Amino acid sequence: MNPALIAEVEEWIALDPDPQTATMLRNWLDQGNEVDLKKSFAGFLQFGTAGLRGPVGPGPSCMNRAVVQRAAAGIAAYMKKRGLTSVVIGRDARYGSEDFTEESAQIFTGAGMKVWVLPRPLPTPVLAFAVNALQADVGIMVTASHNPPQDNGYKVYLGGNIDGVRYAGSQIVPPADIEIAQEIAAIHSSQPKGSSWDVLNDDIFNQYVNETSALSCIKGDVRVVYSAMHGVGTETLLATFKAAGFSEPILVKEQANPDPDFPTVKFPNPEEPGAIDLSLKLAAEVGADIVIANDPDADRCASAINVPGAGWRMLRGDEVGAILGHYIATTMKESCFGKAFANSIVSSSILRKIANAHSIEFHETLTGFKWLAKIPNLRFGYEEALGYAVDAKSVNDKDGISAALILAQCAAELKRDGHSMSGYLANIWETYGYHGTEQISIRVSDISQVDSVLTKLRTTHPQSLSGIELTKFEDLAIPTGNLPPTNGITMWFGDFIRVIVRPSGTEAKLKCYIEVSSTGGDKTAIAQVNEKVAALRVELLEILKV
């Protein structure tokens, strides 16, 4: 076995605070198991704007107590240089979440920080809310969101204004991620640990429920089928709906309680094929008005509706964005006009049209709520990957609980007036033109494969798709003055086709976003656009082969 690898493993074992992972590494050394050791020592788990995320296991390339210890120590060093003194920590119910929360609390208190810990596994939006409610300098959420069961992660929020950036309880953006990563890399010794943190009671949870439920202005007579996707959303959503005066949602019992194995789904992401099949089945059985599903940490919100003659189907993220955007724009009080709408660059262009039609300020940002949350006076923001902020003053991040409540309110109002969600969506298309969107998501074994595809597209991008000529090409890595540089490309074909290709920010995936728009919204226009989207998907799958 490579002597350098052996020395690196021995050094890691000596500082590992977890006897289980240390023993696993020791056994691999004794067995000469170079294959697993190389996987676990393929570099320190990369810290970026999504924080840390990776498989639970031993060594620097995985999520474990030793990695979390160094991450917490690095964040504490970053805090000390800026006079930041307080941290609130939350967690989901994945494997390792309790251990990683305790390790973090020990390190932060050992570094002299004031530390609060949420009382039990709760949604990410509750942690984001707690950062502002407690006026904490830093928030840590132990979660891998909608990643596969073997993963866990570490998401970082900042409060107030840091280094000239208005955070106000939102996720970190550059250069904070780079600076924290540098501090983590400088940690090479064991850290002092404390034990004097405060486990919060339910006051913050109840405050979140009360402020979120106050977003609703009607009593909701609506039949909602709800899935927590084996995550932590059920308790919070039920409490919020009850406080808002809504009928209790009908739970998909197989997915209602936290289960880190996520036994009924291949991937615990509502976007994945088959993930909400149990919800659709139950909705048909009970005659539901709407289906709502959260991802495991409940910061994302999916929905499905019953289409006459076609049955239940899940809405695309852009369709939910259009419904929420139109609903908020048409129900906002006149005094609210001028407050901003925003979406990410990979989301549909329809929100811009909705905002313009109602004289609402509009912004476009890079992908991720870390960017959307920085828009001043954000009234509604969304990204096509099921992330929605329906009121950012309490939770300066995407929030699957509040989004669920506003969707249910919209459905309740329509039901009261004898209308349906499918009819409401059809009216949106007729008003603003139909916008057909499709996402291609290609999972890869090595992220370098994504870079290879993007390099190829930058040098030999297609000059036409489906017989329509390329009209504009933009390399998003080149600063334009409007947006910070990012790894991706945008191509426009004709006047109504836009294609964006980029790496996923949280998983080893290549992502491609297709939008075809139309000035009309009748059945003929919809059919023509959908046919074009399907043809483009076939062509692009061939072009994007890794």
Which residues belong to the active site? 145
Please name the helix (run of DSSP H) or strand (run of DSSP E) that holds residue 537, with its range, or none. helix 523-543
Quick check: 90 and 124 in contact, CB under 8 A? yes
How far apart (Å, rounded) are the C-alpha atoms in residues 420 and 407?
12
Closest CA to 224 of 281, 289, 279: 289
Joined together, the tokens standing for residue 507 give 């998983």
Please name the helix (run of DSSP H) or strand (run of DSSP E) that holds residue 472, with its range, or none. strand 468-475
Which residues on adjacent β-strands are paired with residue 364? 343
Quick check: 345 and 382 in contact, CB under 8 A? no
Amino acid at 147: N
Closest CA to 385 of 509, 260, 256, 519: 509
For 144-204, what is the HEC assignment?
A: CCCCCCCEEEEEEEECCEECCEECCCEECCCCHHHHHHHHHHCCCCCCCCCCCCEECCCHH
Please name the helix (run of DSSP H) or strand (run of DSSP E) that holds residue 443, with its range, or none. strand 435-443
Quick check: 528 and 399 in contact, CB under 8 A? no
